[in-house]
Amino acid sequence: AKMAEVNESNKPLFAGLSDVSISEDIPVEGEITVPVGSPIQDDEYSTLDEPVKETIMRDLKAVGKKFVHVLYPKKSSALLRDWDLWGPLLLCVTLALMLQGGSADSKDDGGPQFAEVFVIIWFGSVIITLNSKLLGGTISFFQSLCVLGYCIMPLTVAMIVCRLVLLGNSGNIGFIVRFIVVFASFGWSTFASTAFLADSQPPNRKALVVYPVFLFYFVISWMILTFSPS
Amino acid sequence: KMSAPGGNKSTNSEAWGSFDDNLIQGGGSAVIDMENMDDTSGSSFEDMGEMHQRMKEEEEVTEEAAATEEGEDGEFLGMKGFRGQLGRQVADEVWQAGKRQASKAFNLYANIDILRPYFDVEPVQVRNRLIESLIPVRMINFPQKIAGELYGPLMLVFTLVAILLHGMKTSGTVIREGTLMGTAIGTCFGYWLGVASFIYFLAYLSNAQITMLQMLSLLGYGLFSHCLVLFITYNVHFHSLFYILWLVIGGLSTLRMVAALISRTVGQTPRLLLCGTLAALHMLFLLYLHFTYHKIVEGILDTLEGPNVPPIQRVARDLPAMSATLVNATVKSIGATLQSH
């Protein structure tokens, strides 16, 4: 009886084999179907035999499209529907590398280390996501990570601008310019991520979800603003 | 319920004959495994109990766990055949460990559901509780209501982390063997969780009616004053301003916590013990945070060497009459406690 059970429960495993042989002393129960023909979906063409360049370009194009969505947040669900973490990784590494730049040679100035920025961004988004789940949000874990990661983009742009400004003018005027740029991109980031995330939250609790997002981008933008290459 | 490796074997059973039978006997799923064990070692009550428990556990484990299980079973097929009892025991142990981890990973989402009731708040409620955390209630005969909620405390702790980071950056704090972020998070969470459990322990000893959840919530909302005071004084550098804010805002939130604790404790000595400890710790923590991570304004370098220096190294900065202040603080907080009786 044990053997029979074993065989029965294994049925799906050899569904693809056409010449299944079963010894005679094992009683076979239940129905065994051997599907003829392979169930390959033909609507998505195979990406195995295309050039690597094409694959990369397609993925980059998808990432680029999502960048546009962040820059022009109009409550589109593209960022939520097919999420990916390539864009967030790219942005996060870029930001961390640029924040790292100044303090690589001197050990004592307490500038943000690469790992620190990296950890802040990822752990921060994980915490925000968990918080939104706890408050009863209906968004999935990685969707939220994706949105939060992509919405760092205005801040990364601000970082590039800041470095350019610091090259030219590091006096008071430079600071004012940097402050305005960082503040604007901070607002932009918060606004964009709220636009994407707010729909998945219960309407009476939006403020509670937005607060950690606000804090998260505030810390990052503050790090960008206080960055100075030594 | 049977795993993949055994299944493949049984399809080939004609070709491999008796050898294969052995393998089927030795390996496969946990159920068959246990049957074998009973055959060889004789079924004792212990075995039966264990088997029952294992079968029950197996029902709980999800597909993820099943995946790990399959891989491991395949690995142990040979081992069990060769080494018999010992091998089986080791395999069982490893299997158990693997299953525990898999179910732990799965339980992450389950845990979220467990925590969800503590995050069931409205924005208005959070705002009211923040305001109430600065208003001491003079009602000590009847137990005060303490909301058991974790959203506000958690967000306040994160806010405090951000403020501390700001303070560390502007003060040029250098921490070797660690990052500013890690130190800030460690300090804040360490204080929140550590002090809450310590006070809870004391409360348990002195028979106070308070749960751990309420303690965490009470202390967490108490950190609102710290956030306020530190946010102001890290940006506005007047020592007198800090002392005023420290006494007024810090004192108010401390009084509020002390009043809530007193109302839930019976007897003079337990009250004194609980509230004295809490008040001293709460006020001193604010002092510590302010002076440890404060910007150098006056340039007087006066390092405090004493019990309050944490194991981290940092640059020296102004600490005017620190030790005297500490003593004062202790005396004052104890005095406040005595008065509130």
Q: What is the DSSP annotation of A68-112?
A: HHHHS--S-SHHHHT--SHHHHHHHHHHHHHHHGGGSS-STT-PP
User: Pick from A9, A17, A135: which is nearest to B2 by CB?
Assistant: A9
Q: Quick check: A34 contacting B, CB < 8 Å?
A: no
- Give CA–CA dist A100/A95, Å, rounded: 8
- Of B24, B28, B155, which is closest to A211 when you measure between CB atoms? B155
Q: Within a domain: residue A64?
A: no
> Residue holding tokens 């997002």?
A213
User: Contact at 8 Å (CB) between A112 and A104?
Assistant: no
Residue B205, pLDDT above cutoff 70: yes
Q: Looking at CA atoms only, how far is residue B161 from chain A in angstroms?
A: 10
Which pairs count as long-range contacts for B56-60, CB under 8 Å and 24+ apart, including other chains?
Answer: B57/B99, B58/B1, B58/B30, B58/B31, B60/B103
- Cα separation, B308 vs B288, in Å, equals 8
When CB atoms are compared, the residue of B32, B173, B174 closest to A2 is B32
CA distance B170 to B22: 71
Check pLDDT > 70 for residue B245.
yes
Q: Which one of B6, B11, B159 has the shortest CB-CB distance to A215? A: B159
Q: Are B208 and B269 in contact (CB under 8 A)?
A: no
CB contact under 8 A, B10 and A7: yes
Partners of residue B151 in chain A, C-beta under 8 Å? 131, 134-135, 208
CB contacts of A211 in chain B (<8 Å) are: 155
Q: How far apart are CA A116 and CA A126, in angstroms?
A: 15
DSSP3 helix / strand / coil % (chain A, rounded to 5): 65, 0, 35
Between CA A147 and CA A196 the distance in angstroms is 7
pLDDT bin (cut points 50, 70, 90) of residue B192 is very high
Token digits of residue B110: 């389950």
The average pLDDT across A158-164 equals 89
Q: How sure is the predictor about A29, in pLDDT bands with cuts at 50, 70 and 90? A: low
CB burial of B142-180 (b: ≥16 within 10 Å; e: otherwise) equals eeeebbebbbbbbbbbbbbbbbbbbbbbbbebebeeebb
Q: Where are the beta strands (DSSP E) in chain A?
A: none
Q: How many domains does chain A have?
A: 1
Neighbouring residues of B165: CB distance < 8 A, sequence distance ≥ 6: A219, B180, B181, B184
Q: Is A1 on the interface with B (CB under 8 A)?
A: no
Taking the CA of residue A187 and the nearest CA in chain B, the distance in Å comes to: 18
In a domain, A71, yes or no: no
Q: Is the pLDDT of residue A182 over 90?
A: yes
- From CA B55, how far away is CA B49, in angstroms rounded? 10
Ordered by start, the domain boundaries in chain B are: 138-301
- Identify residue B257 by its one-letter amino acid code: M
At residue A168, the pLDDT reads 81
Reading the block at residue B225, the tokens are 């004053």
Provide the chain A residues 177-206 that lie in CB contact (below 8 A) with chain B: 204-205
Interface mutation vs chain A, best among B2, B24, B129, most A CBs within 10 Å: B2
Asked whether residue A177 is assigned to any structural domain, the reply reads: yes
From B157, B294, B222, B223, select the one nearest A215 (Cα to Cα): B157
Q: For A120, which of B4, B169, B181 is closest by C-beta distance?
A: B181
Q: Which of B174, B131, B164 is nearest to B231 (CA)?
A: B164
Half-sphere exposure (Cβ direction) of A69: Cα atoms closer than 13 Å: 25
Nearest CA in chain A to B116: A134
Looking at per-residue pLDDT, the higher value among A162 and A41 belongs to A162
Percent of chain B with pLDDT over 90: 24
pLDDT of residue B250: 93
Note whether residue A28 is domain-resident.
Answer: no
Span A57-72, mean pLDDT? 84
CB pair distance less than 8 Å for B169 and A113: no
Band of residue B335 on the pLDDT scale cut at 50, 70, 90:
low
Which one of A100, A130, A134 would you mutate to disrupt binding with B, by most B Cβ within 10 Å of its Cβ? A134
The Cα–Cα gap between A179 and A95 comes to 17
Judge residue B232's burial from the number of C-beta atoms within 10 Å of its C-beta, 0-12 exposed, 13-18 middle, 19 or more buried. middle
A18 in contact with chain B, both atoms CB, cutoff 8 A: no
In this prediction, what percent of chain A has a pLDDT beyond 90? 15
Residues of B with CB under 8 A from a CB of A: 1-2, 4, 6-8, 10-11, 13-14, 24, 28, 32, 35, 112, 115-116, 118-119, 121-123, 126, 151, 154-155, 158-159, 162, 165-166, 168-169, 172-175, 179-181
Nearest residue of B to residue A19 by CA position?
A: B11
pLDDT digits (tens, 9 = 90+) for A90-130: 899 988 888 876 544 445 455 567 888 888 899 899 999 88
Token pair in block for residue B50: 């264990």
Q: Which of A185-189, B204-208, B223-227 has the lowest mean pLDDT?
A: B204-208
The whole-chain average pLDDT of chain A stands at: 78
Of B244, B209, B204, whose CA–CA distance to B228 is shortest? B244
* Cβ pair B123:A13 closer than 8 A: no
Q: Which residue has the tokens 């550590």?
A: B194
Instruction: Please tell me the predicted confidence (pLDDT) of residue B154.
Output: 92
Q: Which of A108, A116, A215 lies at the smallest CB-CB distance from B162?
A: A215
Taking CB atoms and an 8 Å cutoff, what residues of chain A touch B166?
Answer: 222
Distances in whole angstroms, Cα of residue B131 to Cα of each of B224, B260, B262: 9, 15, 20
Rounded Cα–Cα distance for residues A152 and A95 (Å):
9
Of B158, B166, B172, the CB nearest to A222: B166
Domain membership of residue A170 as a residue range: 83-102+110-226
Per the domain annotation, does A141 fall within a domain?
yes
Contacts of A174 (CB under 8 A, 6+ apart): A165, A166, A168
Average pLDDT over residues B99-110: 74
Shortest Cα distance, chain B CAs vs residue A45, angstroms: 29
User: Distance between CA B116 and CA A146 in Å, rounded?
Assistant: 23
More confident residue, B298 or A60: A60
Mean pLDDT of all residues belonging to chain B: 72
In a domain, A117, yes or no: yes
Q: Is A55 a member of any domain?
A: no
pLDDT of residue B286: 92
* pLDDT given for residue B17 in this prediction: 43
